[in-house]
Structure 1
Amino acid sequence: MSSWVNWLIATGIFLSIFYSGIDTGVSLGALFEPKNVRAVERFVTGLWPPETSPQFLLQVARLLLETVEISLVATALAIVLALPMSLFAIRPQGEEYAAQRLGRFQWSVRRTIYYSVRCLLGLLRGIPELMWALIFVVAVGLGPFPGILALATHSTGILGKLYSEIFEAVDVRLVETARVSGCNQFQEFLFVRLPMSLSIFLSYTLFRWECNLRSATVLGFVGAGGIGTQLIISMKLFMYHEVSTLIIAILALVIAIELLGQFLRVRILEGNVNKGIRDI
C-alpha cells in the first residue's frame, strides 16, 4: 500500500478522534471547576474512616461470597452452553473434499448451521451484561439469579467464539488424518481438537471466570445480586464510609482472584510442558 494512502488513513483516524472529543463535550478544564472540585472533596473526605462495625462487615462478607458464587455458576453454565455451540461454529475446511464426502445437501446444511450459530454467538456477546441483567430482572425478578443468567448469556457468546477459534487453530493435518481414519465430527473433536488445545482452552475459561467476577460486582446496580447491590444503596444514601469499606473489599477480592488466576494458569502451563517432556 502506498505511503499517501497510509497518511490518509492516519489523518482520517485522527480527525475522527478529534471530532468525537468535541462532539461529546470533552473538557479537562471541567475537572478543575470550583463546584466540581468541592464535590470531589466532599466525596473523598466522606470515605474516611471506613465503616468497620461487625454487622456491616459480616454483611459485606456475605455479599462477597454471593458475588463469587454468581461468577462461578454463571461461568459453569456458559461452558456447558458454549462448548457444544463452538463445535458448530468451527469454520468448515476443505470445501471441495467435504462437499464430496458429505454430499452437497449435507454440506449446505452444515454451512447454514455454521453461519446461524456464529450470528447467535455474536448476538449473545454483543449485548452487554448490564443490558442482559435488566432483561432478566424483568423476567425473573430481583436477586442473584438474574445476575447468573446475564453473565452466563454474555459469556456463552464470548466463550463460544473463543472455543471455536482455538479448535480451528489445530493443525489441519491431524484433523484430516482423523477424518481419513473414519472419525465423525464429534470423535474428531474429542480425540484431536480438544487434546491439542486443552491448555489454551483452560486458560481462556479461567480468564473468563475472572472477567465474570469483576462484572458480578456491578450487576447489583440493576438489582441482579452481588456486592454491587449494597454499593449502589450506600452511594444513594451518601453513606460514603460504607462505600469506602465496599471498595476496599472489592479491591481485595479482585487482587485475590488475580493471584489465584495466575497460580492456576502457571499450573496449567507447567502441566502441559511436563506432559510434552514425558511424551518426548
Structure 2
Amino acid sequence: MTHPAYQHTQPLLRWQTALVLLLLTALISASFLSLDMHWAELFSDQSLQSSRDFLAGFAPPDMQASFLHKTAMATLETLAMSALGTVLAALAGMLLALPASKQYGTLLYHCSRLLLNLARAIPELVWASIMLIAAGLGPFAGTIALAAHTTGVLGRLFAETLENLPPENAQTLKLNGASRAQIFFYASLPMGLPQMLSYTLYRWENNIRAASILGVVGAGGLGQMLKYHLSLFQMHSAATVIIAMLLLVALVDALSFAIRRRLTR
C-alpha cells in the first residue's frame, strides 16, 4: 500500500510544478511583449543582401605562411590562457569549496559563499578590464580574469559535490577518530574527484571561448588579433583568425568530451 503521506505529497508536487511552468510561461510572454523585436527587418531582402556582402568580404582567408605562423602562436597563447586559468580556478575553487560546503561548514561558510557568488557574478570581460588596469595589456590579465570568474563557478560546483556525497564513509572515519583533513583526503576527495574533474573539463571548454573573446579588450591571443584586423577592415586576415578559433574550440570540445566520458564510465 502507498503511504498516506506520500499520497498527500503527490498533488502538492503537481501543483508546484504547474505553478512554476505557469510563471515561466508568463515571464517568456512578457519578455517578447516588452522587447522591440523587428523580425520583418531582420529577414528583409536588404538585410539579407547586406549580410551576404559582408560575409563575402571574408573570402578567401589569408593563407600566407608568415600570417599562418602568427595565427598559430596566437592560438597557442589562447590555449595556454584557458588551460592555466582553469587550473588556477580549480585549485582556488577547491580551497573555497571546503568552507562553502555544509558538510564542512564552519564560521567561514557564509563568507566563502559570498566570495564565490561575487567571483562568478562578475563577467570575464569585466574581470579582464580590471586586470588590464592592474597588469597591463597581454595574456597575463586574461589568464587572471578567467581564473577569477571560473573560481566562483567551480567553487560552487565543488561545494555542492561535497554536500551531495554519501555520508557513510566520512562518518565511519569520524567515529574512528580521523581528523577533518583525513576525512577529506581519504573519503570525500576520492568519491567526488571524478565529478569535480568533469566539471573542470567542462569549464575548460567554456574558457576556450571566453579566452578568444577576452582579446577584444586587449588580453592577448586570437581575440586581440581578431579585433585588430577587423578594426582595419582586413577581412581576409580576420577570416583566418576566425577559422583558427573554430578549429581550437572543436579540438578542445572533442578532447574534453572524450576525457569526461572516460571519467564517468
Cα pair distance change 1:238/1:36, threshold 3 Å: farther
Equivalence for 2:221: 226
**AA in 1 matched with 2:69:** L
User: What is the alpha-carbon distance in structure 2 between the residues aligned to residue 246 and residue 191 of structure 1?
Assistant: 47
Structure 1 residue 266: Cα displacement: 3.5
State the secondary structure of the residue aligned to 1:178: helix
Correspondence 1:150 to 2:150: no
Q: Which residue of 2 aligns with 1:278?
A: none
Identify the residue that residue 25 of structure 1 maps to in structure 2.
36
**Are the structure 2 counterparts of residues 5 and 150 from structure 1 closer, same or farther at C-alpha, using a change threshold of 3 Å?**
closer
Partner letter of residue 116 of structure 1? C
Question: Is 1:74 equivalent to 2:85 in the alignment?
Answer: yes
1:254 aligns with 2:249: yes
**How far apart are the structure 1 equivalents of 2:189 and 2:173?**
13
Amino acid at match of 1:234: H
Could you report, residue by residue, the CA deviation over 1:123-155 in whole angstroms, capped at 9, with x for unpaired residues?
A: 101111111111111111111011011000011
Q: Name the counterpart of 1:175.
A: 170
Structure 2 CA distance for aligned equivalents of residues 268 and 232 of structure 1 = 38
Distance 2:189 2:172 in 1: 15
Residues 220 and 227 in structure 1, CA contact (< 8 A), matched pair in contact too: yes
1:6 shift after superposition: 6.2
CA distance in 1, matches of 2:194, 2:20: 39
Q: Does 45-54 or 15-24 show the bigger shift? A: 15-24
CA RMSD of aligned residues (A): 2.1
**Per-residue CA distance 1:167-217 (angstroms, 9 max, x = gap):** 222211111111111122111100100011221122111222222112111
For normalisation by structure 2, the TM-score amounts to: 0.88
Check conservation: 1:43, 1:240, Cα contact below 8 A.
no
**Alignment partner of 1:218: what SS?**
helix
Contact 2:99 2:106 in 1 (8 A): no
Letter in 2 for 1:13: L
Find the aligned partners of 1:263 and 1:7 in 2 and give their Cα distance. 38
% identical aligned pairs = 37
Q: How does 1:110-129 map to 2 (within 5 A)?
A: 111-129=106-124
Residue of structure 2 equivalent to 1:91: 102
Which residue of structure 2 aligns with residue 140 of structure 1? 135
Q: Which one-letter code corresponds to 1:65 in the other structure?
A: L
Q: Aligned residues, how many?
A: 254
Distance change (3 Å), C-alpha of 1:254 and 1:6: closer
Does the 8 Å contact 1:92/1:111 carry over to 2? Answer: no
2:177 & 2:115 partners in 1: Cα distance? 31
Gaps of 5+ in 1: 94-109, 271-280
* In 1, Cα distance between equivalents of 2:177 and 2:170: 11
Shift of residue 10, structure 1, vs aligned partner = 4.0
Q: Which amino acid aligns with 2:117?
A: G
1:53 to 42, 45, 64: 64
1:159 matched to 2:170? The reply is no
Q: Check 1:79–1:16 CA distance in 2 against 1; reply closer, same or farther (3 A cut).
A: closer
Query: For 2:220, what is the secondary structure of its paired residue?
Result: coil
- Judged with a 3 Å threshold, the aligned counterparts in structure 2 of structure 1 residues 156 and 2 are, in CA distance, closer, same or farther, namely closer
What displacement does 1:263 show? 2.5
